[in-house]
Structure 1
Amino acid sequence: MPVSLKKGQKVSLTKDNPGLKNVVVGLGWDINVFDTGGEFDLDAAAFMLGENGKVTKSEDFVFYGNLVHPSQSVQHMGDNRTGAGEGDDEQIKIDLTKVPAEISKIAFTATIYEAEARRQNFGQVANAFIRIYNEETGEELLRYDLGEDFSIETAVVFGELYKNGAEWKFNAIGSGYQGGLAALCGSFGVDVE
């Protein structure tokens, strides 16, 4: 039975799942079709962060333009440009055993592509969630439904995996940012051109 999280809640992934190695982080959403006539393209990303909450190098930002981390520990499964259909819209695979020692947390985010130009925000996105499941068994380990009403934000940090000693834990964050991907990159120390 997966753990259903609320904002700010933390849960251990590995304590009840000893030997857990490969997980898939799935992010999903639905678009409120009545708010805009335009297409929405949401993009999931993973920021691999050091103790200071910043990336250690630009390759620590894994997204549609950099699908695989050099360590092979994090792999983005590709861009879904519509968000149509049930289930996960975008997925990121994590091999917990390959995450470099200097990485203490992995933040999972979603941004709206060209949000300002298209006058779109997360207030027009419904049923947003993040879930983590065991890649080997398919068992869903946890799920966090954002359920918040973001009216002006164009980027959201869904949650983060973090190391606590030998354990991997998950923190349901659910915080929004204005300024889209550039704001997130600035917050996590990624240089954007």
Structure 2
Amino acid sequence: MPISLQKGQKVSLTKGNPGLTKVVVGLGWDVNSFDTGGDFDLDAAAFLLGESGKVTSSGDFVFYGNLKHSSGAVEHLGDNLTGEGAGDDEQIRIDLTKVPDNIQRIAFTVTIYEAESRRQNFGMVNNAFIRIFDETNGQEMLRYDLGEDFSIETAAVFGEVYKNNGEWKFNAIGSGYQGGLAALCANYGVDVE
């Protein structure tokens, strides 16, 4: 039975699962019926963060343009352009044994591609969630449904996996940002062209 989290709640991934090494982070959403004249393309990403809360290099940003971290610890399993259908829309695989020592947290975000030109925002998105399951047995460990009613935001931090006293934990964040992917990159110290 997966744990259903509330915003701000933290839970250990490894305490009750001492052999846990490989997890998959699934992110999903539905688009409501507003017609904005264009398709919705939401993009999941992972930011591997050092002690400062910032990336240590541009390669610490894993997204549709950089699908795999150089350490092999984080891999984006591909871009979904429509978000149609049930279940996860995009997935990011994490090998906890390969996460570099200088990485303290991995933040999982979702942004709306070309949100401003398409006049789209998270107020038009329903049923957004993040879930984590054990890759070896497919067992869902936790799920966080973003119940927040975002209105003008074009980017959101769903949650993060972080190291604490030798344990891996998950924090349900659910905070929105204006300015899309560029705002998140600025927040986490990624230089964008």
Mark yes or no: TM-score above 0.5.
yes
Residue 15 of structure 2 is matched in structure 1 by: 15
C-alpha separation between the residues in 1 aligned to 2:77 and 2:137? 19
Q: Which amino acid aligns with 2:103?
A: I
Q: Show CA shifts across 1:17-68 (max 9, x none).
A: 1110000000000000235342000000000000110000000000000000
- For the pair 1:161 / 2:175, whether they are aligned, the reply is no
C-alpha separation between the residues in 2 aligned to 1:81 and 1:36? 16
C-alpha separation between the residues in 1 aligned to 2:97 and 2:4? 25
Kindly indicate whether the alpha-carbon contact (under 8 Å) linking 1:122 and 1:151 is maintained by their aligned counterparts in 2. Answer: yes
Kindly indicate whether the alpha-carbon contact (under 8 Å) linking 1:71 and 1:100 is maintained by their aligned counterparts in 2. Answer: yes
Residue 133 of structure 1 is matched in structure 2 by: 133
SS, match of residue 78 in structure 1: coil
Q: Which amino acid aligns with 2:67?
A: L
* Aligned counterparts, 1:24-173, within 5 A: 24-173=24-173
Kindly indicate whether the alpha-carbon contact (under 8 Å) linking 1:35 and 1:124 is maintained by their aligned counterparts in 2. Answer: no
TM-score normalised by the chain length of structure 2: 0.99
TM-score normalised by the chain length of structure 1: 0.99
Kindly indicate whether the alpha-carbon contact (under 8 Å) linking 2:37 and 2:118 is maintained by their aligned counterparts in 1. Answer: no
C-alpha separation between the residues in 1 aligned to 2:83 and 2:95? 25
Q: Structure 2 unaligned runs (5+)?
A: none
Query: What root-mean-square deviation, in Å, do the aligned CA atoms of Structure 1 and Structure 2 show?
Result: 0.6
Q: Quick one: percent identity of the two aligned structures?
A: 78
Q: Structure 1 unaligned runs (5+)?
A: none
Runs of 4+ off more than 3 Å: none
